[in-house]
Amino acid sequence: MHEMSIAIGIVNIAKDEAKKAKIDSFSSIDLEIGTLAGIEFDSLDFVWEVAVKDTVLENAKKRVHKVEAKARCSDCGHEYPISFIHDNCPKCGSFIKIILQGKELRVKSLEYS
């Protein structure tokens, strides 16, 4: 389950930011995670408490903003939502595309009180 290593990586980002800001903890964290990022949202929720225990995020409220995947067909230019990386263009049927969004994994914001 790589969600634990992802959660630990997020904790490390928060620790670095807390050190820079000279604070002890955060009250909330906002994450942007794309639907094609390869993360199981339920698994991330499952490991979160263990990953943040005794860290600057222990009492922080976690908010996850899902970024729905979207692509542009390289053949006809049509933009369309995708569920899987191998989805084809609904307009022309081409499988050649540029992923516009949906692979994100970022800490959008950290708040402290």
Mean pLDDT by 10 residues, the chain (113 residues): 92 97 97 96 96 97 97 98 96 98 97 90
Residue type, 63: R
The C-alpha atoms of residue 107 and residue 31 are separated, in whole angstroms, by 5
C-beta of residue 66 within 8 angstroms of C-beta of residue 112: no
pLDDT at residue 1 in the model:
56
pTM here is 0.86
Q: What domains can you pick out in the chain, each with its CATH number? A: 3-68+102-111 (3.30.2320.50)
pLDDT at residue 113 in the model:
81
The C-alpha atoms of residue 32 and residue 45 are separated, in whole angstroms, by 14
